[in-house]
Structure 1
Amino acid sequence: MSRRQRPARRTLLALCAATAVLATTVAAAPAVASQETASATASTTATAALDDTYYQGAIGKTGTALKSSLHSIIKNQTKITYAQVWTALKATDQDPANSSNVIELYTGRSISKSNNGGNSGQWNREHVWAKSHGDFGEATGPGTDVHHLRPEDVSVNSIRGNKDFDNGGSAVSGAPGNYTDSDSFEPRDAVKGDVARMILYMAVRYEGDDSWPDLEPNERVNNGSSPAMGKLSVLKQWNDEDPPDAFEQRRNQVIYDQFQHNRNPFIDHPEWVEAIW
């Protein structure tokens, strides 16, 4: 074959390869779309069933009336001890790809369920609503509510500390995509909505009528020991930008079925965030 013929042959081979890839992609696309549609349909069906039963008293309400109705619904829960939280998190945050592991909230790292404790490189129990904000500690109640407790690397948990949530700061060592400064913490994009919905769940569940403080979101950072967490405007933005995914929805269901028997309503209805706040 002459040198002049070789480029033409290469062009023809490349065109054939591209056509084959395109054909494969087109063939695969309907299957992927079908799976996504089926998942969305199943989620919609499940939510409709909850609206007819669990959330029946809240449907059609907004503002303080909705918040009050949801509080009445979700305060009916089975309480667990702080020691039992270890067992719960191993079920609620199980790695979908490895049943022997859990997924850490901020790092996103998959780590052995048995590698839990207080030492460097282990995972521990992160209070997303910092327990010092309201001074409820680890006693049974808000301190053991699994809806806002998540597995997290010991060192990264320490870096977050009791900071409020806001955008900005410097990169967090060992946790790509997370940022922090002296008074706030920004989680990675994939869990921003998770964090927002956990904080707002706490604000609805704990209204000061069961010996625990009345927890509320506000527009501040540096909330210290007051029963408040900020910033609300940022949390609302995160709820919009990062809607509930399959992991978060499964987690909500496991808590409901196996442990507390109550739900985070903002996972089932993320639009209720705007309806209340």
Structure 2
Amino acid sequence: MLRYFLLIILLFSTLISIDAQDLIINELDADTPGVDNQEFIELKSITPNFSTDGFVLVFFNGSTSGGDTSYLAYDLSGFTTDSNGLLVLGSTGVSPFPQIVINESVIQNGADAVAIYSGTLDMFPGGTLATQTNLIDALVYGTNDATDDGLLALLGKTIQHNDNGTNANPKSIQRFVDDMGDVIFSAELPTPRMPNDGSGIVFNPVSITVDQSDYNEGDSFTITFTSETNVTSDLNFNINLDNGTFNISDFSGDTNLTIPNGQNTISTTITLTDDTIDEGDEVLRIQFIDLVEPIIASNNLVEVRVVDNDFTTAAWGTPVNPTFGLVTSTQPNGYYNSLDGLADLDLRQAIQDIIADPNVVRAQTYADVIDILKLADQNPENSNEVWLVYTEEGRSKLDFQTSSSNVGKWNREHTFPLSRAGYNGIDADDIADGIDVFFLTEADSLRHGYSDAHALRAVDGSENSSRGSRHYGAGEYIGPSGTLGSFRGDVARGVLFLELRYNGLEVIDGFTTSTGQMGDLATLLDWHRNDPPDDFEMNRNNIVFEWQKNRNPLIDQPLLVEFIWGNRVGDVWQQTLSANENNTLNIDVYPNPTDDRIFIKGLNEPAEIKVFSVEGKELLSETVSNNTMDLKLSSGLYLIEIVTDKGSAIKRIIVK
């Protein structure tokens, strides 16, 4: 009898142990209206300090396109719940700070679901249909959405719970046990890392504050740490500021700190090292590394920009202050020779044979384009910035948009919009694998237009949203008011390049809704003619050529535009006078731009000077012996050839 009694005790103990390992979904904030930076999900174990090894958290998309399949999964191995049995996954805006950090806006609003499974991450690749197999717990939810009966059935649930928060009154979906012992869910004020019923151990969160979000090298600044309530014994803790290339060599200051017994604050002064290395702007990250419950972080991973004062400037100007002839094309010898003697469709095909040669040309990933733009669109006035198309300004390379907020950020602008072209990315496009890893590509590889850097530009995030998918032209998009339009020729040549590069794309007159077509051709031709390629654009062409092994010929040979779309269609092409030919005379022409006269520095003997239009037509010819020449020309870009007995030189010049 005793043996049976012991067996019953053992079985009951085993059942309790198994049940104690179960995790539940305790709270979900799927939508913080207007900001989306405080979303989180809170899990709860029956016992505190419980290892979540062997569990996976999976999010399901209940939309029509999502089809009740997974869009995200997290491996919970390596984590434990806290002394209240809670484990929070949330973005950095959540306070107290979550144990597992996830990106902002990653949790969809609904109707969707989140579920805990026993298993491994590889069991839930993207697009996995919701299932009850190995299911531990699930929550189907919405934000005032229609009920997703299919998702409920797949997960064995009967109720879709609603997060009906507003900007003024944020809510989360919380799990409670009522007086009858039944589990209910209610939308309440969010309580991350706190039991929903107010019970449990009371934590004392410590916050990090700094006065500014950015400082220059050589500056000193104060970091203040404040606990919510006075500590009951000396609180000793350490912080770390390392992040990426920023490390201990970049600052001095105390990182081992103590809040004295009975007090709630301590500060430390950090002095940033002013070195002479151009390492670019950096970001230090203030991080607690050894807080022990009931002391927890109120916020963490607080970032501070360190602005490098050792940036370099280029010899050439920005698009709003252009220079010409300072940057030499890196095209190989004879790169365009195959075009000579051709016209019309034959000329067009010969261009495509060069820029879409499957034996030479490479395609990079969309993620690689970020690195390409940091080089190709680098601000000539500050090597730590990119130059933004449309808004005509520099912005720190560090300010690339990585979350839903585009304010003050830059991202990638498709000058020929995605929805109009019909190209889209694949999963591999999310991986930046560098210049030496690439796709094979050809003229029919329209998909690669998605990541073709010749037609992608660094752009202000908000302006990118404002432009949307609008065509270029009056009544559609011509750029922000008050800007100089210095981008217009650049984007025109980028868009026209795509028509030559990829089969299936066309630039047409007017505005169209047909996929693969974009307008307005007349506008883009006008933009090209009035904003000729400058040194910024030539440098850009050279850098993209390093990655993709093709060039935009409309930058190297701008007159080609007239032979393909403009006023010389059908004429036979011959390569025109180039400002990139070798110059044997060491001379400069100034001022540039000029009104009506140029001075020639370094000219020590009589010279024959000829002035040509960008189309190669000779306009003026004069023998000069006094180092000056009058130019009675209309506004525009011109090529000047200077020939003496000692050599020759070709310069570009703008007449205002």
> Per-residue CA shift, 1:178-229, capped at 9, x if unaligned?
6xxxxxxxxx52111101100110000001xxxxxx10110121x2351011
Distance of 1:141 and 1:97 partners within structure 2:
32
> What aligned pairs does 1:124-143 form with structure 2 within 5 A after superposition?
124-139=411-426, 141-143=448-450
Secondary structure of the structure 1 residue equivalent to 2:465: helix
Distance of 2:378 and 2:542 partners within structure 1:
13
> What aligned pairs does 1:1-277 form with structure 2 within 5 A after superposition?
40=325, 43=328, 46=329, 50=332, 52-76=333-357, 77-117=361-401, 118=403, 119=405, 120-139=407-426, 141-168=448-475, 175-177=480-482, 188-207=484-503, 214-221=504-511, 223-257=512-546, 259-277=547-565
Distance of 2:558 and 2:522 partners within structure 1:
15
User: TM-score, with normalisation over the residues of structure 1?
Assistant: 0.73
Corresponding letter in the other structure for 1:147: H
Corresponding letter in the other structure for 1:116: F
Q: How has the CA–CA distance of structure 1 residues 273 and 72 changed in structure 2, closer, same or farther, with 3 Å as cutoff?
A: same
List alignment gaps of at least 5 residues for structure 2: 1-322, 427-446, 566-656
Residue equivalent to 1:183: none
Q: How has the CA–CA distance of structure 1 residues 171 and 225 changed in structure 2, closer, same or farther, with 3 Å as cutoff?
A: closer
List alignment gaps of at least 5 residues for structure 1: 1-37, 179-187, 208-213
Corresponding letter in the other structure for 2:459: E
Q: How has the CA–CA distance of structure 1 residues 163 and 270 changed in structure 2, closer, same or farther, with 3 Å as cutoff?
A: same
> Per-residue CA shift, 1:119-156, capped at 9, x if unaligned?
22100110001011132123460000000010111110
Q: Which has the larger radius of gyration?
A: 2
Corresponding letter in the other structure for 1:61: L
Measured on the aligned residues, the alpha-carbon RMSD in Å equals 2.3
Which has the larger helix fraction?
1
Q: How has the CA–CA distance of structure 1 residues 73 and 82 changed in structure 2, closer, same or farther, with 3 Å as cutoff?
A: same
Q: How has the CA–CA distance of structure 1 residues 151 and 41 changed in structure 2, closer, same or farther, with 3 Å as cutoff?
A: closer
> Per-residue CA shift, 1:209-267, capped at 9, x if unaligned?
xxxxx10110121x23510111111111111100001100100001112x111000000
Corresponding letter in the other structure for 1:84: D
Distance of 1:215 and 1:123 partners within structure 2:
27
Percent of pairs identical after alignment? Answer: 36
Corresponding letter in the other structure for 1:255: V
User: TM-score, with normalisation over the residues of structure 2?
Assistant: 0.32
Moved more, 160-169 or 150-159: 160-169
Q: How has the CA–CA distance of structure 1 residues 193 and 153 changed in structure 2, closer, same or farther, with 3 Å as cutoff?
A: same
8 Å CA contact retained: 1:171, 1:177: no
Which has the larger strand fraction?
2
8 Å CA contact retained: 1:95, 1:110: yes
State the Cα distance separating 1:268 from its structure 2 match: 0.6
8 Å CA contact retained: 1:220, 1:231: yes
Distance of 1:170 and 1:230 partners within structure 2:
10
